[in-house]
C-alpha cells in the first residue's frame, strides 16, 4: 500500500476549513478567484513573515506540527 500524499492531505484540510467557514459555494468562488490572480511569493512572504526572525518561524512551525493530530 502506498503512503498517503502529505500535499493532498494539506489540500483536503484547507478545503475543509474553507467550506466550514465560507460554505461550499463561497469556498469554490474563493479558489476560482485565487487561481486567476498572479502570485508574488516574495511580497506575500514579506507581508506575513517580514517582522519575524527565523527562530520565531521555526518555533511556530514546530508548535504547529505538535498540535497536528497524527492520522493512523
**Would you state the pLDDT for residue 60?**
87
Domain definitions of the chain by residue range: 1-36, 40-67
* Confidence class for position 62, pLDDT limits 50, 70, 90: confident
11-58 pLDDT tens trace: 999 999 999 999 999 999 999 988 888 888 888 888 888 888 889 988
Residue 38's Cβ-side half-sphere holds a number of Cα atoms within 13 Å equal to 3
User: What's the DSSP call for residue 70?
Assistant: P
Output phi, psi for 8, to 5 deg.
-65, -40
The CA-atom distances, in angstroms, between 21 and each of 24, 30, 52, 66 are: 9, 12, 28, 24
Q: Which residue has the higher pLDDT, 64 or 47?
A: 47
**Would you state the pLDDT for residue 3?**
73
**Would you state the pLDDT for residue 23?**
94
Amino acid at each position: 500500500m502506498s503512503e498517503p500524499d502529505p500535499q493532498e492531505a494539506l489540500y483536503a484540510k484547507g478545503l475543509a476549513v474553507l467550506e466550514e467557514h465560507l460554505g461550499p459555494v463561497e469556498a469554490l468562488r474563493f479558489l476560482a478567484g485565487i487561481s486567476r490572480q498572479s502570485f508574488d511569493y516574495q511580497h506575500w512572504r514579506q507581508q506575513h513573515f517580514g517582522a519575524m526572525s527565523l527562530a520565531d518561524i521555526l518555533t511556530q512551525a514546530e508548535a504547529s506540527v505538535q498540535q497536528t493530530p497524527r492520522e493512523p
